[in-house]
Amino acid sequence: MKHTTLNACIANMPQLSHKPEDPFDIHGSEVVSWLISQDAVLQWIFDTAKARGLIVFDPASQKWHGIGEAKLLVPKPARMSEIQKMESVIASQPPDTGPHRIAEILGVSFRTVRRRLDRSRVFCIKNSRIRLRDGQKDTDTTACLLSETTSQGFDL
């Protein structure tokens, strides 16, 4: 559902009783009653729950159900940032690999690589070449980045 449809629906809500200073009772609110009577609002709630993976469809029973609290509490695996991915690719390449080749490997523009290198704590561009930032040791950095990448199971 488009947000414009939802916004237009809610923007056209008539005047309803529910004073902000009253103790909030969801069951006695005319505003809430009106909102949940709108198809656009109900569709948005369903679409949001589905998109967030909170409800799933079971083909065997042909019914929808919630995922359960146990699955909500399972932490998602840490995602590697775009800068970390780039640093791992750089560390796995020969030392003379240039930023244009790194951009090609990552499937991004040279400008994107340059921006990420500006934010990298490990690498930078000097004299049109990717170099370690001051204070970084070549062998330590490469070994650390590669072991970190393989131990976390990221594909290069």
The residues, any chain, with a CB within 8 Å of residue 126's CB and separated by 6 or more, are none
Query: 């750089």: which residue's tokens?
Result: 90
At the topology level, CATH places domain 82-152 in Arc Repressor Mutant, subunit A (1.10.10)
Cβ count near 27 (within 10 Å): 6
Instruction: Looking at the chain, list the stretches that DSSP marks H as alpha helix, in order from N- to C-terminal side.
Output: 3-11, 30-36, 39-51, 69-73, 82-92, 99-106, 110-119, 138-152
User: CA 15, CA 127: separation in Å to the nearest integer?
Assistant: 66
Tokens at 29, concatenated? 């609110």
pLDDT, tens only, 3-60: 678 888 889 999 988 777 667 778 888 888 999 999 999 999 999 888 888 888 888 8
Burial class (CB in 10 A: 0-12, 13-18, 19+), 39: exposed
Instruction: Give the residue range(s) of CATH 1.10.10 domains in the chain.
Output: 82-152
CA 8 to chain CA centroid, nearest Å: 28
For 55-85, write each residue's pLDDT tens digit. 888 888 999 999 887 676 666 666 778 888 8
What is the separation of C-alpha 149 from the centre of its chain, rounded to a whole number of angstroms?
Answer: 19
The CA distance from 7 to 155, in Å, is: 41
> What pLDDT, on the 0 to 100 scale, is given for residue 120?
87
Evaluate if residue 107 carries a pLDDT over 60.
Answer: yes
43: which residues sit within 8 A by CB, 6+ positions away? 1
